């Protein structure tokens, strides 16, 4: 289902970048009865002044969320009255559904509040190539409002080389890259924090830490207790069920993953097989391949068919290198 909402206005775009402006968080009841999808895909029509950065922040999406879902639209000059797809429907990451789950390939955080049957999701920025955010499991060990940033020697050396030397400590304030709030993780040296450069949310721009929009970390900081488990995964392909229909969701793999393994669809095939479990339904492998090639980041149904898939065709799909994706 597509939901059409009102377009932005120049005044709303201006208000969006004011510190006190609040954007609605994406919060959904947890699906029941074996379902895995939350939310609905929406659309918005632009006015001439809009950019993808403005639209993304207003709807709690990342910049690359919009460029992936709308590859034919100029992100800086979308024009007047252009219909933009808002990818606000999600297949939840693989279980367990607890604590904080961060999917690097998706550039997205999912938070499952303890004792509540709901999920909250936010876009995030992660480490750029050469400063990759690691996968792993840990927990929140400390929360700090108005944090001081102590840049590691490696980051100070990089800045010095670029002619922008950093002090040993950056005090709280508008120039602090941690923003107003930080969650310190048991994964040594890594944080979930705000930012003084919100346009980098939904992109790979950090030195490995995980950054959120200021309004999102504000909410998350107040909700997440110390001790909350954190799981960081890298799953560009997800599969799940909605009312008896199997869906897949494909995102561009991280660039490091492409360099190491090249393009292949084996992970998506594996995700589909895992989602199928003991179900007698058979997926449309050609439809799966199309979704994997497009990498729009939007859940698409894989029509169930009764005939057994051709094993040789399935193998070719799994090992194909046709996709032309630069990765994240």
Q: How many helices (H) and strands (E) does the chain have?
A: 9, 19
What is the DSSP secondary structure assignment for residue 244, as one 8-state letter? T
Active-site residue, from 122, 193, 207, 251: 193
Burial of 273 (0-12, 13-18, 19+ CB in 10 A): exposed
Of 75, 15, 71, give the one whose Cα is nearest residue 46: 75
What is the crossing angle of helices 285-294 and 311-319, to 10°? 10
Residue 32 in tokens: 């029941």
Catalytic annotation present for 209:
yes
Catalytic annotation present for 193:
yes
**6 Rama class: left (phi>0) / alpha (psi -120 to 50) / beta:** beta
Burial of 286 (0-12, 13-18, 19+ CB in 10 A): middle
Active-site residue, from 6, 122, 159, 209: 209
Which positions are annotated as active-site residues? 193, 209
């Amino acid at each position: 289902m597509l939901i059409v909402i009102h377009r932005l206005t120049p005044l709303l775009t201006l208000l969006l970048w004011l510190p006190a402006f609040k954007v609605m968080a994406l919060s959904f009841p947890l699906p029941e009865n074996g379902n895995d999808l939350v939310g609905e895909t929406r659309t918005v029509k632009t006015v001439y002044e809009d950019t993808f950065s403005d639209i993304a922040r207003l709807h709690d999406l990342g910049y690359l969320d919009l460029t992936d879902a709308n590859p034919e639209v100029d992100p800086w000059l979308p024009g007047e009255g252009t219909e933009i797809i808002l990818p606000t429907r999600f297949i939840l990451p693989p279980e367990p559904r607890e604590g904080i789950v961060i999917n690097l390939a998706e550039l997205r955080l999912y938070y499952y509040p303890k004792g509540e049957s709901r999920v909250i999701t936010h876009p995030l920025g992660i480490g750029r190539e050469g400063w990759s955010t690691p996968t792993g499991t840990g927990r929140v060990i400390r929360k700090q409002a108005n944090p001081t940033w102590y840049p590691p020697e490696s980051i100070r050396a990089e800045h010095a080389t670029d002619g922008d030397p950093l002090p040993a400590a950056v005090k709280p304030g508008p120039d602090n890259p941690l923003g107003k709030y930080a969650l310190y993780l048991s994964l040594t040296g890594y944080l979930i924090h705000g930012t003084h450069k919100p346009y980098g949310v939904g992109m790979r721009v950090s030195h490995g830490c995980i950054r959120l929009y200021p309004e999102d970390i504000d909410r998350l900081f107040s909700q997440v207790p110390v001790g909350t488990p954190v799981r960081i995964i890298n799953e560009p392909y997800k599969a799940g069920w909605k009312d008896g229909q199997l869906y897949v969701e494909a995102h561009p793999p991280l660039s490091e993953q492409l360099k190491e393994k090249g393009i292949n669809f084996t992970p998506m095939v594996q995700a589909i097989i895992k989602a199928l479990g003991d179900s007698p339904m058979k997926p449309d492998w050609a439809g799966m391949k199309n979704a994997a090639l497009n990498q729009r980041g939007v859940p698409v149904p894989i029509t169930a068919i009764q005939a057994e898939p051709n094993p040789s065709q399935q193998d070719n799909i799994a090992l194909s290198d046709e996709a032309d994706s630069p990765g994240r």
